[in-house]
Structure 1
Amino acid sequence: MNAPIGDLFSGPALVRRGIILFIGMLSLYYFAPDILELINSAPELVSINRRWFFLMILFELVSFAFLWWLTRIVLPQVSWFVAATSQLASNAASRVIPGGAAVGGAVLYRMLSVSGTSSGQAGAALAATGGLSTTALAAFPAAGFALAVAGAPIPESLLPAVLAGGVLFPLLLAVGVIAVRTTRPLLRLGLTISKVVAWTGRLVRRPWQFDPRKLVRERDSMVVAMGDRWPLAMVAAALNWVFDYLVLVTALVAVGADPRLSLVLLAYTGGALLAMIPVTPGGFGFVETGMTYLLVLSGITKGDALLATLAYRIVSLWLPIMAGSVAWLIFQRRYGNATEDSSEQPQPSGEPAPQDS
Structure 2
Amino acid sequence: MLLFGVSLYLLAPQVADMLASWPQLSDIAPWWFAAVATGQVLSVACLVLLQRMALRTSSWFPVTTSQVASNAFSRIVPGGAAAGATLQFRMLGHAGIDAPTAVTGLAAFSLLQTASVLALPVLALPALIAGVYVPHALLQSAVLGGVAFALVVAVGAVLMTADRSLTALARAAQSLHNRVAKRRPPVTGLPQRLLDERNAVRSFLGSGWWKALLATAGKLGFDYLSLLAALAATGSRPHPSLVLLAFASALLLGMIPITPGGLGFVEAGLYGTLTLAGVATGDALLATLVYRLASYWLPILAGPIAYVLFRRRYGSMRSTTGGET
TM-score, normalised with respect to structure 2: 0.78
Q: Does 1:337 align with 2:278?
A: no
- 1:122 aligns with 102
Alignment of 1:92-103 (within 5 A): 92-103=72-83
Q: Deviations over 1:324-348 (max 9, x none)?
A: 1110111011111134339xxxxxx
Instruction: Report the Cα distance in structure 2 between the residues aligned to 1:49 and 1:152, rounded to whole angstroms.
Output: 31
Note the C-alpha offset of 1:229.
Answer: 2.0
Contact 2:118 2:149 in 1 (8 A): no
Instruction: Report the Cα distance in structure 2 between the residues aligned to 1:339 and 1:59, rounded to whole angstroms.
Output: 35
Note the C-alpha offset of 1:224.
Answer: 4.1
Question: Which of 202, 205, 229 matches 1:250?
Answer: 229
- 2:116 aligns with 136
Contact 2:274 2:284 in 1 (8 A): yes
Judged with a 3 Å threshold, the aligned counterparts in structure 2 of structure 1 residues 73 and 318 are, in CA distance, closer, same or farther, namely same
- 1:11 aligns with none
Question: Residue 317 of structure 2 aligns to a residue in which SS?
Answer: coil
Note the C-alpha offset of 1:151.
Answer: 7.1
- The residue type equivalent to 2:155 in the other structure is K
Judged with a 3 Å threshold, the aligned counterparts in structure 2 of structure 1 residues 333 and 301 are, in CA distance, closer, same or farther, namely same
Q: Does 1:229 align with 2:170?
A: no
The answer for unaligned runs of 5 or more in structure 1 is 1-20, 154-187, 194-209, 343-357
Question: Residue 79 of structure 1 aligns to a residue in which SS?
Answer: coil
Question: Which of 198, 208, 217 matches 2:158?
Answer: 217
Q: Which deviates the most, 59-68 or 217-226?
A: 217-226
Instruction: Report the Cα distance in structure 2 between the residues aligned to 1:339 and 1:51, rounded to whole angstroms.
Output: 43
- The residue type equivalent to 2:283 in the other structure is D
Instruction: Report the Cα distance in structure 1 between the residues aligned to 2:155 and 2:249, rounded to whole angstroms.
Output: 24
Alignment of 1:35-184 (within 5 A): 35-149=15-129
Judged with a 3 Å threshold, the aligned counterparts in structure 2 of structure 1 residues 252 and 119 are, in CA distance, closer, same or farther, namely same
- 1:352 aligns with none
Instruction: Report the Cα distance in structure 1 between the residues aligned to 2:203 and 2:104, rounded to whole angstroms.
Output: 9
Contact 1:245 1:265 in 2 (8 A): yes
Q: Deviations over 1:145-190 (max 9, x none)?
A: 234445799xxxxxxxxxxxxxxxxxxxxxxxxxxxxxxxxxx968
Instruction: Report the Cα distance in structure 2 between the residues aligned to 1:64 and 1:288, rounded to whole angstroms.
Output: 20
- 1:355 aligns with none
- 2:263 aligns with 284
Note the C-alpha offset of 1:230.
Answer: 2.2
Judged with a 3 Å threshold, the aligned counterparts in structure 2 of structure 1 residues 146 and 98 are, in CA distance, closer, same or farther, namely farther
Judged with a 3 Å threshold, the aligned counterparts in structure 2 of structure 1 residues 302 and 213 are, in CA distance, closer, same or farther, namely closer
Question: Residue 124 of structure 2 aligns to a residue in which SS?
Answer: helix
Alignment of 1:312-331 (within 5 A): 312-331=291-310
- 2:279 aligns with 300
Q: Deviations over 1:33-68 (max 9, x none)?
A: 111111111110111100011111111111111011
The answer for unaligned runs of 5 or more in structure 2 is 134-145, 162-197
Note the C-alpha offset of 1:226.
Answer: 4.1
Question: Residue 340 of structure 1 aligns to a residue in which SS?
Answer: coil
Q: Deviations over 1:212-243 (max 9, x none)?
A: 95331234445246452222112101210110
Question: Identity of paired residues, percent?
Answer: 41
Contact 1:78 1:117 in 2 (8 A): no
Question: Residue 96 of structure 1 aligns to a residue in which SS?
Answer: coil
Question: Residue 75 of structure 2 aligns to a residue in which SS?
Answer: helix
Question: Residue 97 of structure 1 aligns to a residue in which SS?
Answer: coil
Note the C-alpha offset of 1:77.
Answer: 2.2
- 2:217 aligns with 238
- The residue type equivalent to 1:97 in the other structure is V
TM-score, normalised with respect to structure 1: 0.71
Q: Does 1:33 align with 2:29?
A: no
Judged with a 3 Å threshold, the aligned counterparts in structure 2 of structure 1 residues 149 and 338 are, in CA distance, closer, same or farther, namely farther
Question: Residue 258 of structure 2 aligns to a residue in which SS?
Answer: coil
Instruction: Report the Cα distance in structure 1 between the residues aligned to 2:243 and 2:267, rounded to whole angstroms.
Output: 14
Instruction: Report the Cα distance in structure 2 between the residues aligned to 1:42 and 1:150, rounded to whole angstroms.
Output: 38
Q: Does 1:22 align with 2:2?
A: yes
